[in-house]
Amino acid sequence: MIKAFVIGLIGAGLFIVAGAPMPWLLGPLFAVLLLQLFTPITLKWHPRFRNVGLIIAGYVIGFAFTLQALQGMKEYFLSMLVINCVFFILFLLISKLMTVWTKVDQATAMTCCVPGGLSQIVTFTEEQKNIDLTAVTFYHVLRVLMIVAIVPFIVAGGEPSHVEKVGQGDYSAPLLGLLILCYGAGIVAQKIRIPTAFLLGPVFLIMLFNLMGISVPIMPKLFLHMAQLFIGIYIGLLLKKEDLKLTKRMIAYSFFSGAVLIACAYGISFALQQLYGLSFSTSFLSVVPGGLDQMGIIAASVHADVTVVTAFQLFRILFVSVLIVPFVKIVAKRAERKLEKSINV
């Protein structure tokens, strides 16, 4: 773990010198990813460090949720619904193309092409007998890597629409106490099976304090850098050498499907800008099907409106969980029954 930490720091330093966007996230990500894929060096990173990063990100996001911000969320509901319906149709088209081009079964193709929900989808796939777990894991890890690696470069040039109070804070006992409470909130959220528990637990806790009128300390910028470093290393280590053993056609299609999702989000974000007067960074981060944790921390770093981004991403998680995953389960069960019938015949 020390090796991964040192390599992540070196990557961050190189990206800072190069003037790249979000160096504390992208530098560690690329450094550990390239070392893991192209050298014999073995790197490890405990999920607990990623959870610490999520807690800090959740604190920053929750800090932005005021009563006024929550009241403004109602106007976006119809757009959230329409956008997710568009991505559902796109998901059906991409998965259909995948069955034709790569010759995989329909259940595997659909599971690979779900627009979001890395941990949910991998867990679901592990429970299925007839879905290729290696392919599904590779597709979703690559989607996350593509989005996290590309999105900061796309939004870096945009004008900040909403400057969060990060970087002006002091290192105080109340801040430390609140972070410990946030860790506890993450554990509780995990026990009741809330997705991305160590992010959403702190979000809801700090948001509750805000709504109750309890003063919450401002997060120092160094802590946000630490969160990006921890999360960047974690994401960079998701893709392993053994995941590259898929056919060239499968790997090529995974890049294609990821690019289509990003391109679609890019187009939709301009419509959001026109409808609501949002900045490009806010609208794009709201729409792109990345993880809530990654999009939230990117939003905080580029001074997008994290309340809007979080609301859209939460709605997408709900849409995937309530509609898309059950739909894929039905398709997988039908495929399993057909396979059993053909074996019995």
pLDDT, mean of residues 175-197: 91
Report the share of the chain in percent with pLDDT over 70. Answer: 94
**179 vs 322: which has the higher pLDDT:** 179
Confidence of residue 163 (pLDDT cuts 50, 70, 90): very low
Q: Is 173 exposed, middle or buried (0-12, 13-18, 19+ CB in 10 A)?
A: exposed
Confidence of residue 194 (pLDDT cuts 50, 70, 90): confident
- Which phi-psi region, left, alpha or beta, contains residue 131 (left: φ > 0; alpha: ψ -120 to 50)? beta
CA-closest candidate to residue 61, choices 306, 292, 291, 255: 306
Q: What is the pTM of this model?
A: 0.83
At residue 186, the pLDDT reads 94
**51 vs 164: which has the higher pLDDT:** 51
At residue 63, the pLDDT reads 87
For the CA atoms of 290, 292, 293, 296, what is the dihedral angle to 10 degrees?
A: 100
At residue 120, the pLDDT reads 74
Please say whether the beta carbons of 164 and 303 come within 8 A.
yes
**117 vs 319: which has the higher pLDDT:** 319
Please say whether the beta carbons of 295 and 276 come within 8 A.
no
Number of domains in the chain: 1
At residue 171, the pLDDT reads 73
Chain centroid to Cα 31, Å, comes to 19
CATH number at 37 reads 1.20.1530
Give how far Cα 99 sits from Cα of 57, 110, 139, Å. Answer: 38, 9, 14
Residue 342 has pLDDT above 80, yes or no: no
Residue with tokens 């405990």: 46
Q: Which amino acid is at 63?
A: F
Q: Give tens-digit pLDDT for 283-300.
A: 999 999 987 878 888 888
Confidence of residue 344 (pLDDT cuts 50, 70, 90): low
Residue 205 has pLDDT above 50, yes or no: yes
Q: Which residue segment(s) compose the domain that 12 sits in?
A: 2-344
Q: Give tens-digit pLDDT for 82-120.
A: 999 999 999 999 999 999 998 888 888 999 999 887 777
Confidence of residue 227 (pLDDT cuts 50, 70, 90): very high
Angle at alpha carbon of residue 301, lines to 314 and 227, rounded to 5°: 80
CA–CA distance, 327 with 323 (Å, rounded to integer): 6
Both tokens assigned to 38: 């192209």
CA–CA distance, 72 with 62 (Å, rounded to integer): 15
Both tokens assigned to 162: 């909403």
pLDDT, mean of residues 67-71: 77
Residue 154 has pLDDT above 90, yes or no: no
